[in-house]
Structure 1
């Protein structure tokens, strides 16, 4: 498989030579003119569709996590009493469905184009939000009907992940120049933590005055109505995207990006690539350890006397959003993808271990909540940048495999871990080993996984930047040259 990948890569290098030149031939057969690549303002509209879709969907995913008791009583009518509560089921639906539908999203995005994928993703997100809103209408007296409608809407909305989670790298490759690809990826991916921040801050404020909700109260309806209105925005924006690709390629790799090996072989080429498999594991740990911990952390904080609602998660998401912008800028300027990943894994692990030790102390000082916020901010600062930078690194490692395929595999693997890790934490909590407070062992397990990610990144992450090698092999482009138009031979035309 490695020999095959290298030979295919060399084929792309030869294609690049012909795809990036234009003009009359010289006596020696060489071309004397170099093409110019072009970007369009409409790329920001395409990117906005993906960003608002990710923000809206993330808010729907996390919105009930800080209200487990209220959600339980409103939609089921009885306390959990040891059973899996409604809020956890809603959260886990998103992880399970992302894994279930991910391959379909990869195939559609790479073969039918960005426009179709955007329309499908925004439609599913809006329909799901609408059903969730209907489920919260107080006039529905049957709690069973409410819960069924809620989970059905969550399932449909979760299906949108199959598209927006693989779109960032595709949009960055097709619409953005090489020096803006990382920041385009970052802007798409930070919309997700921005949605998480909204999904934790808004309910914490909105439900603060409602301690005893009854099944006929309208507050849940207004809350879900707001999320439906937010889901409507990317759906409307998607209707204004007129073309699946820009008329002129934005970069050399976009112009000559051929992939003739097929969808299944592309997947095999990715998963059998040792370096990409390491990146899959790092991405999965970064994605799952952070958000599963934020969901799990509410119990230990309350046990130690902290009443912080969903604010630690919001702080984590906001700080992570800011550091992702910084990481994207650094990656665009330096191309030091693996170095950024290494710094992030070490920083996340140190923050995780520090939080674990600090939680040994009860909340008996005004400074203690401040320290919790700082440590949660550090967790977000070092974890969230790994999402966009990891996807960009995955595209580099597996090039010329199409972007939605490589990034889709990363996301699917991350969603699988995100589905499993909460159960691992719950099981570790139930074992009651070593400590009088069993949650300590559960967080110890999370720290152990973070240390594994450090070992993998420092000693085993040695990727090859195939796409950059291809682009660096091309000649500089004079500004006065005529832009190159796409031809039918480019598989960027979606076959």
Structure 2
């Protein structure tokens, strides 16, 4: 297995080198285009818009159920449909990104996102008997768009950005999704205090979706710049999709990352989904749970930004991921303890901030690491399979943790309503799972940075071939 993997890598490295030599001196300095920032902006706005559509109804579930004349369980399905749709569509999305191209994928995602947002608003204006079906159809269109959007950051960073900006670009694009989640938790309760305000809320989410769709359709004119920003960009996704899957399944380092980081995604999904139910047992209000969720996201975005800049400068992908996963495991265990304590708001808030700061920052770096350890497999394929692993494990974790809860007969401080459940055992299990998979990753994950090595080999051979004294590989910028 390893020998076949090494042979594939060596062939790709040779192809990179010969290709750079063939083009001559013009490729000694790669050209960057300012337009890359516009493409990144469109993706960020699209990712943020899709996240707000996803969680529109969760913060105002009671008002939504009253307006649409359905049960709370049916309202919950407006969010769960994203998870249900994402898993089977993920393979098609990775194929599309690596085969059809970035431009077509982003534009299709933008149109699905816009159609979904508009359908939801139109549905609220029609007869009550068709309101909920149309709103659910709109949510389904948004769910169809999610994989097309959320898989794109790694591909965009590889095609448009040089090696010293890739992790930063990936971080900016990836963190726009939790920013959208945060905005939804702020905007929805503010705009829809009463059920009759639901149509206005959906209109407020539809307008940005239409604007972003226009920007994507008109502004994104190509999948990649005229000239690549790095040696690896030109050969991005050269491995056929099926062959790429085979290479990933033979890559020990990638499989460890797939399992362990997928588990990390699952833990974060459980935390975000169950936070309010966990805290209400000990008397914490919904407002406080919302504050903890906001701190979790805000500190996560800050941590991701800082780590992205650090990794871009040092290229220490593995070290950064292992250290942050270790701190994340500590934070998860700490949360499993403090969430069971009463009247400890400060401790709970601090732990949630700590959890987000180290946990969220792993995501974009781990996605870049998945590309480095699996190159020359397409970026969308390597990053997409990890997302699929996270979604599958998320479903399993949520089912497991809910099954481990036990009813509490008497809980005088509870703010949960009629049903009060003990989360002591589920939280200990979650902390244990996070710790176990972190230990597996720290002990067993080892890899070469194949993409960086291929770029360095191509540059070195070109310099030797031409004997140029001006051998700086710094990119030039299009003005």
Report if TM-score (shorter chain) is over 0.5: yes
Structure 2 counterpart of 1:19: 19
Taking the aligned partners of 2:475 and 2:41, their CA distance within structure 1 comes to 25
Superposed, which structure 2 residues align to 1:11-410 within 5 Å? 11-22=11-22, 35-78=28-71, 80=72, 85-137=73-125, 139-142=126-129, 145-207=130-192, 209-210=193-194, 213=195, 217=196, 219-239=197-217, 240-257=219-236, 259-260=238-239, 262-309=240-287, 310-363=290-343, 368-410=344-386
The alpha carbon displacement at 1:172 in A equals 0.8
Q: Does 1:9 pair with 2:12?
A: no
Instruction: Kindly provide the CA deviation profile for residues 269-291 of structure 1, in whole angstroms up to 9, marking residues without a partner as x.
Output: 11332211111122222222113
Instruction: Kindly provide the CA deviation profile for residues 132-187 of structure 1, in whole angstroms up to 9, marking residues without a partner as x.
Output: 222333x5322xx3322222211111111221122111111111001001001101
Taking the aligned partners of 1:314 and 1:272, their CA distance within structure 2 comes to 40
Taking the aligned partners of 1:32 and 1:172, their CA distance within structure 2 comes to 25
Taking the aligned partners of 2:185 and 2:473, their CA distance within structure 1 comes to 51
Structure 1's 7 and 133: CA in aligned 2 closer, same or farther, altered over 3 A?
same
Contact 1:34 1:481 in 2 (8 A): no
The alpha carbon displacement at 1:106 in A equals 1.0
Aligned-pair Cα RMSD in Å:
2.5
Instruction: Kindly provide the CA deviation profile for residues 35-92 of structure 1, in whole angstroms up to 9, marking residues without a partner as x.
Output: 32111011111111211111111112223223333333333434x5xxxx13431222
The two structures have a TM-score, normalised by structure 2, of: 0.89
Structure 1 counterpart SS, 2:58: coil
Instruction: Kindly provide the CA deviation profile for residues 242-284 of structure 1, in whole angstroms up to 9, marking residues without a partner as x.
Output: 1221111100111344734x21121121133221111112222
Q: What count of residue pairs does the alignment treat as equivalent? A: 456
Contact 1:323 1:385 in 2 (8 A): yes
Structure 2 unaligned residues grouped into runs of 5+: 412-419
Taking the aligned partners of 2:328 and 2:179, their CA distance within structure 1 comes to 19
Structure 2 counterpart of 1:464: 448
Instruction: Kindly provide the CA deviation profile for residues 350-377 of structure 1, in whole angstroms up to 9, marking residues without a partner as x.
Output: 11221222122223xxxx3333222211
Taking the aligned partners of 1:471 and 1:179, their CA distance within structure 2 comes to 12
Taking the aligned partners of 1:225 and 1:62, their CA distance within structure 2 comes to 15
Contact 1:113 1:244 in 2 (8 A): yes
The two structures have a TM-score, normalised by structure 1, of: 0.86
Q: Which has the higher helix share?
A: 2
Contact 1:102 1:161 in 2 (8 A): no
Contact 2:281 2:422 in 1 (8 A): no
The alpha carbon displacement at 1:22 in A equals 4.8
Pick from 413, 433, 436 the counterpart of residue 389 of structure 2: 413
Pick from 452, 455, 477 the counterpart of residue 439 of structure 2: 455
